[in-house]
Structure 1
């Protein structure tokens, strides 16, 4: 199995491979624990195309939740900012119900495409909310308020974020 996984990783990462997506999908379906760790290392690596394909492989694996930390780390890595949208887009293949704060953070601090996709997830995913989730989201919001990318976007962001946070407060006060 180890040899098969190594072969799939090699084919998936080959820049001349025309069927890289096929090999990423096949890799994801056959991943074991040791293979998972190798694929997560690719997500954290310097080659964004291999990292993206590794994310795709992980989305097809049984290690869906365990791999999200590495994917959000790649999304938030300044080095990946130009490709941030692609990494956020692959999140549609994952269960995000426990990841409100991570998505909210991308919505606040991501590039244009990443923010738009994160907003879509915020609107469409049914998140599990707790008081802790709200506190963490408010912490990121306060950080954004004190460090906006530009003053012009601050008012627009307020119009979008404050209703979200208020809705969560209301939801939690009902419980």
Structure 2
């Protein structure tokens, strides 16, 4: 099958063939496939966005789609958790701050997945990254209710930032 036929199987109402089409597109993995999937991710139905994200996550050389995936997560709050999960196979090493922000501002699933990434993925950490993460933390801190949940999050985040600072200082 050609690429446009396979992409069309991921559009609109998904049927039993959608996952097979997704797998075939991921195996192809060309720039044309990535571009078509990015269009779906931006303009498709909710189901199409999720399967487009799944397919992008399966493509071996998928880094060119990472920023678009993060944008889609930001633009689609109701799908953010499902889309974020698909970042598992991306190289997130240069995306500490966006993932950190998701761990602060996201819903339950988004926070859980983002924290798992922060705990288990490799990131490039510099003083600038820590400064940006601290700025995001202060923004969060100044815009939420200070209750028991906040106090627990505060302990976790401040410990995380202190650990990162110690890491950078020892480098």
Question: Does the TM-score normalized on the shorter chain lie above 0.5?
Answer: yes
Query: In the alignment, is residue 151 of structure 1 matched against residue 149 of structure 2?
Result: no
Range with bigger deviation, 6-15 or 55-64: 55-64
Equivalent residue, structure 2, for 1:67? 65
Distance 1:33 1:155 in 2: 46
- SS at structure 2 position matched to 1:12: coil
Query: In the alignment, is residue 82 of structure 1 matched against residue 78 of structure 2?
Result: yes
Distance 1:5 1:66 in 2: 18
Structure 1 runs (4+) deviating above 4 angstroms are none
Equivalent residue, structure 2, for 1:38? 36
Q: What is the aligned counterpart of 1:106 among 99, 102, 105? A: 102
Structure 1 residue 16 displacement after superposition: 4.1
Distance 1:16 1:174 in 2: 51
Structure 1 residue 70 displacement after superposition: 0.9
Q: What is the aligned counterpart of 2:49 among 35, 48, 51? A: 51
Distance 1:27 1:36 in 2: 9
Range with bigger deviation, 31-40 or 63-72: 31-40
Q: How many residue pairs are counted as aligned between the two chains?
A: 170
Say whether the 8 Å CA contact 1:5–1:31 is kept in structure 2: no
Indicate the RMSD between aligned Cα atoms, in angstroms.
Answer: 1.7
Distance 1:33 1:82 in 2: 28
- SS at structure 2 position matched to 1:151: coil
Runs (5+) with no aligned partner, structure 1: none
Distance 2:14 2:99 in 1: 33
Calculate the TM-score normalised by the size of structure 2.
0.90
Structure 1 residue 22 displacement after superposition: 2.0
Runs (5+) with no aligned partner, structure 2: none
Structure 1 residue 55 displacement after superposition: 1.1
Structure 1 residue 137 displacement after superposition: 0.9
Deviations 1:50-78 (A, max 9, x none): 1111111112224421111111111112x
